Chain A
Amino acid sequence: MTPLGKAPDVSDVPDVINRYVADFRAFAANGAGGAPSWLKEIREGAIARFAQLGFPTTKQEAWRFTSVAPIAETRFVRAPGSEVPVSESQVAPLLLRGAAGPRAVFVDGRHAPALSSRVGLPQAVEAGSLAAALQAGGGSELARAHLARHATWRESPFAALNTAFLLDGAFVHIPAGIALEQPLELLFISTGQSLGPTVTHPRSLVVVDRGAEAAVIEHYVSLARGVYWTNAVAEVVVDDEARVEYYRVQGESRDAYHVATTHSRQGRDSYLGLHVVTLGAALARHDVHTVLDGTGAELILNGLYLLGGTQHADHHTLIEHARPHCASHEFFNGVLDERAHGVFTGRIIVRPGAQRTDSKQTNNNLLLSTEARADSQPQLEIYADDVKCTHGSTVGPLDQTALYYLRSRGLSAETAQSLLTYGFAAEILGRMRRAEVRERLDQVVRDRLESGAAARAA
């Protein structure tokens, strides 16, 4: 572990880094007021770490296929926060489940209580502002116990930057034994309404205690097109015997940048279904790091990326089997149209002693155009002997025989193609256990594929 240090002297580091360090100084001096000293210390350590690491380059293995130069080269300013007025009627259509369920809404990274609702939530459940939970004095002990303990921000410049500028985001706590009836939606809205490019560093901490059950939707959207950058980190803690369906839906503006890290830690006999749906942003990078840290834990990591235009999305997943008798099943499907580029890395580490690990990984990529591209790389590191690990990946166009099979039953070539493409995506949707979320995402996927097909036909 790197000791928490002071940020380096500004003269030692390149300009880009200097800008962020200088901005951090300004942030620490005023914008971050009210934080307890432990958090200030973490932030200091994180900016120091960011300054050491700098932005990654394609020379680094983990970033081979993804250049973040457009992010490094843009002068982003921190979004001013909830100064931009957003009305309830603007929010309703953005919510995945409409305005019916419980939700915590964030505008440019800041919690917006007037747009949020606790409808149907038990009293003991927390679902609101992380900033409030971090207040010096009245803050939450639980937040302190978990925040920045799971995210491996020392290894990632982006997670470090998020941690340095950590100010607000979602704090969710489901106490032991409680089962949430309705999915809880965390909606992050970027207004994109500033004069220049803005950045937000939303942070989420979701703690589901022993034996509790919940479905949570972490959802990113934008109000307007425009260049902005979301640099998000989420930490999800699933205690012993807890059961969580976690949906992460990224529907940013097609001009935006989205970088995110999702960390989860699971206890004994817990279940986590982590569903990732990536639709938006010009450039997206999502690191998922899950740790199966209790015997008998089960993980389903289930992802879908639908990309078109010149979109680029890179999913970098790491599943760590730290205890015996755990099962992880990972499925990522990508549909790539026009000149889109999808990247998938599936790393699986089976730690010494994690016997009876059952791990399965597949990544299938469908290329709908000759200019679309997909790169897929599995990385298995197995340090135990009694394990079952399989992986497989495919990249290619629609299966000609399957197309013919459908046509031979009377379907037109266009219908056959869209049916096969939809089926490819639906396979991922089918693993989502909450029907009310699955059905909404099904519609989102259909709309997206239809507009893609319309663009192709035009």
Chain B
Amino acid sequence: MGERGRKHAMLEIKNLHASVEGREILRGVDLTVRAGEVHAIMGPNGSGKSTLAQVLGGHPAYTVAEGSVLFEGKDLLAMKPEDRAREGVFVAFQYPVAIRGITNAYFLRSAVNAIRKHRGEEELGPVEFMDRLEDKLRVIGWDSSYLSRPVNEGFSGGEKKRNEILQMAVLEPKLAILDETDSGLDIDALKTVAHTVDKLRRPDNATVLVTHYYRILTHIAPDFVHVLSDGRIVKSGGKDLALELEEKGYDWIREGAAVA
């Protein structure tokens, strides 16, 4: 952990408890993510992975009862969702939302400009923005027809996931939390998504991949793998842990956790 110790934490979650509709889902999560790292969070259905992602994004339906989250030393939980995004946090939704009547291009430009404004940069006009967008589109293997369609409206499951990745590519976050962006993708789409995530990796940004498949981790090697079970991280390890989970399933960890 020598090198790790020297870099300060980008995201520091301590003893996070969160509930939805009065039910406690997260029951004391601890997690530290440093710049340059890729973390995978795995775990069975219903273990609280999306809850964790949405709490970090600032979803108003979730309430935090206990614990703290620092992003670059700032209190993330005290920020509005839009301020988290402007500070550089990006959550790719497991179930992206369709926005009728608003084209993808308009939405993307509005988002980019909101963030640029926050950074004190000049807003981009439609033409300038399109120029910049072209590269990103090419990376995810899309033509511009997707830009003139309403956001996620009538998109297939896979197209919605690609659209999340396009947003990430355009917004260039410091911390990207991808909630099951790999599920529902065919093998080519998965490769494209993995390739895009890999391409966007920089020493000063970090990625958290929420997944319950090993598949994507063969394309993006994680530095750390964590297992979330019943609202707690019950095991952490290197990428070998993912392989072990792939072979043995989650039951052995749950049993182990119960004993511990």
Contacts and interface: CB of A to CB of B under 8 A. Distances in A.
* B is bound to A: yes
Interface of A: 399-402, 404-413, 415-416, 419-420, 422-427, 430
Given A409-B171, A411-B110, A412-B114, A423 B60 contact: no
Of B81, B84, B97, B110, chain A has the most CB atoms within 10 Å of the CB of: B81
Interface string B79-100: 0111011100011010011111
Contacts of B99: 402, 405-406, 419-420, 423
B101 A410 contact: no
Interface of B: 57-61, 80-82, 84-86, 90-91, 93, 96-102, 107, 110-112, 114-115, 118, 150, 167, 171
A241 B172 CA distance: 52
Contacts of B150: 423, 427
B97 A407 contact: no
Contact of A408 (B81, B98, B112, B118): B81
A416 B99 CA distance: 11
Nearest to A416: B82
Contact of B171 (A405, A407, A410, A420): A410
B110 A415 contact: yes
Contacts of A420: 99, 102
A445 to B, nearest CB: 11
18 contacts: A402-B97, A404-B58, A404-B60, A405-B93, A405-B97, A407-B81, A408-B57, A408-B59, A408-B85, A409-B114, A410-B85, A410-B114, A410-B118, A411-B82, A422-B101, A422-B102, A423-B150, A424-B101
Given A415-B110, A422-B101, A427-B100, A409 B60 contact: no
A402 B150 CA distance: 13
Contacts of A427: 100-101, 150
Contacts of A430: 101
Given A399-B97, A405-B99, A423-B102, A415 B114 contact: yes
A419 B59 CA distance: 19
Contacts of B107: 406, 409, 419
Nearest to B89: A408
A404 to B, nearest CB: 6
A431 to B, nearest CB: 11
B85 A407 contact: yes
A407 B59 CA distance: 10
A415 B106 CA distance: 13
Contacts of B80: 407, 413
B61 to A, nearest CB: 8
Contacts, number: 82
A419 B97 CA distance: 14
Contacts of A413: 80, 82
Nearest to B112: A410
Contacts of B82: 407-408, 410-413, 416
Contacts of B118: 410
B153 to A, nearest CB: 9
Contact of A426 (B86, B97, B101): B101
Contacts of A405: 93, 96-97, 99
Contacts of A410: 82, 85-86, 111-112, 114-115, 118, 171
Contacts of A408: 57-59, 81-82, 84-85, 90-91, 93
B224 to A, nearest CB: 25
Given A400-B60, A404-B60, A419-B110, A409 B85 contact: yes
Contacts of B115: 410
Contact of A424 (B58, B81, B100, B171): B100
Nearest to B168: A409
A404 B102 contact: no
A42 to B, nearest CB: 44
A411 B98 CA distance: 16
Nearest to B83: A410
Given A410-B112, A423-B99, 12 more contacts: A408-B82, A408-B84, A408-B91, A409-B85, A409-B107, A410-B82, A412-B82, A412-B114, A419-B107, A423-B150, A426-B102, A427-B101
A402 B101 CA distance: 13
Nearest to B152: A405
Nearest to B60: A404
A430 B114 CA distance: 25
A-B complex: 3 closest residue pairs judged by Cβ atoms: A423-B101, A426-B101, A410-B85
A404 B84 CA distance: 12
A425 B96 CA distance: 21
A401 B101 CA distance: 16
B47 to A, nearest CB: 21
A406 B96 CA distance: 11
Contacts of A407: 58, 80-82, 85
A399 B61 CA distance: 13
Contacts of A412: 82, 114
A58 B258 CA distance: 67
Contacts of B110: 411, 415, 419
Nearest to B114: A410
Contacts of B85: 407-410
Nearest to B117: A410
A169 to B, nearest CB: 34
A416 B97 CA distance: 13
B211 to A, nearest CB: 20
Contacts of B90: 408
A408 B84 CA distance: 7
A375 B69 CA distance: 45
A404 B59 contact: yes
Nearest to B88: A410
B100 A409 contact: no
A415 B57 CA distance: 18
A443 to B, nearest CB: 15
A427 B154 CA distance: 13
Contacts of B114: 409-412, 415
A422 B150 CA distance: 12
Contacts of A400: 60-61
B136 to A, nearest CB: 15
A2 B118 CA distance: 70
